């Protein structure tokens, strides 16, 4: 089972415009600092946070219990002008785990409900048999073919199109897809066989972009992500001609 945690800023919309619309650069600084802060605290427990929409972030939290989540929630409440609520869920696939985490939190009230503040809604926690499978997907040679030859915004548009293509294909398999910077994506993909990811990557005619992917499988997000990176490096280094390469703990 994979464990996913939804982190949602409480009543954020109204806060951003009270008493008047807050300076956008200040909101961007708050969101970026909150993301980095959460990343640092989840990473301390070998978790991994994806910024998603910033007011709603998803983390892989295998190995983290109620106390771990409460400590993070309290620390944010002590140091920020806003508070966060969290939902936690586990399932065979990442999509279902985040669906359960979301439903658990939604059962405590709406995101902009004034009564809902610093809720921790745990549907379920992964046990010691839980595991994480993450694919690190990368566009081939983006530096030479796009970054160094096209206007920066045009390259960003291509990366965005690849992201949409991958999200559309992977959600059908119960897998999630997050942009993590540059030309890189990470897909929590418990339950997806490497052959299934290879099939998706080979459907690149829809986007006319060559992709490769390292997959890692381990007890925590940090270990799985690192194995995925190592598998990707093995592809880059020519140690394998596979376009999708799996490494296990």
Ligand X SMILES: Nc1nc2c(ncn2[C@@H]2O[C@H](COP(=O)(O)OP(=O)(O)OP(=O)(O)O)[C@@H](O)[C@H]2O)c(=O)[nH]1
User: In a 3-state reduction of DSSP, which class is residue 76?
Assistant: helix
**Strands across the sheet containing 48-50:** 48-50, 56-60, 2-9, 84-91, 120-122
Name the residue among 60, 75, 114 with its Cα closest to residue 226: 60
Closer by beta carbon to ligand X, 16 or else 145: 145
Judged by CB under 6 A, the chain residues 209 through 238 that form the site for ligand X are 229, 236
Span of 28-36, 61-69, 150-158, 179-187 interacting with ligand X by CB under 6 A: 179-187
Span of 5-13, 41-49, 76-84, 140-148 interacting with ligand X by CB under 6 A: 140-148
Closer by beta carbon to ligand X, 67 or else 148: 148
- What is the CB-side half-sphere exposure of residue 113 using CA atoms within 13 A? 14
For CA atoms 55, 56, 59, 63, give the dihedral sign.
positive
Q: Does 183 bind ligand X (CB under 6 A)?
A: yes
- Which member of 32, 79, 182, 199 binds ligand X (CB under 6 A)? 182
Name the residue among 40, 46, 38 with its Cα closest to residue 222: 46
Span of 49-57, 75-83, 139-147, 152-160 interacting with ligand X by CB under 6 A: 139-147
Footprint of ligand X (CB under 6 A): 138-143, 180-184, 229, 236
């Amino acid at each position: 089972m994979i464990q996913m945690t939804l982190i949602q800023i409480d009543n954020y919309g109204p806060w951003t415009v009270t008493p008047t619309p807050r300076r956008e650069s200040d909101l961007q600084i708050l969101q970026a600092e909150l993301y980095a802060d959460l990343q640092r605290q989840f990473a301390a427990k070998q978790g991994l946070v994806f910024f998603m929409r910033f007011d709603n972030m998803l983390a892989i939290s295998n190995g983290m219990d109620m106390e771990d989540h409460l400590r993070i929630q309290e620390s944010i409440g002590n140091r920020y002008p806003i508070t966060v609520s969290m939902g936690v869920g586990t399932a065979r696939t990442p999509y279902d785990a985040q669906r359960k985490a979301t439903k658990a939190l939604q059962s405590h009230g709406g995101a902009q409900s004034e009564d809902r503040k610093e809720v921790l809604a745990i549907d379920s926690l992964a046990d010691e048999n839980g595991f994480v499978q993450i694919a690190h997907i990368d566009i081939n040679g983006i530096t030479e073919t796009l970054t160094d030859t096209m206007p920066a915004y045009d390259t960003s548009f291509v990366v965005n199109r690849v992201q949409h293509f991958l999200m559309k294909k992977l959600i059908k398999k119960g897998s999630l897809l997050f942009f993590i910077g540059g030309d890189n994506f990470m897909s929590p993909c418990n339950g997806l066989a490497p052959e299934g990811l290879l099939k998706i990557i080979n459907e690149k005619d829809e986007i006319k972009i060559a992709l490769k992917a390292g997959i890692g499988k381990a007890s925590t997000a940090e270990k799985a992500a690192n194995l995925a990176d190592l598998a990707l490096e093995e592809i880059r280094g020519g140690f394998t001609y596979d376009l999708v390469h799996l490494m296990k703990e």
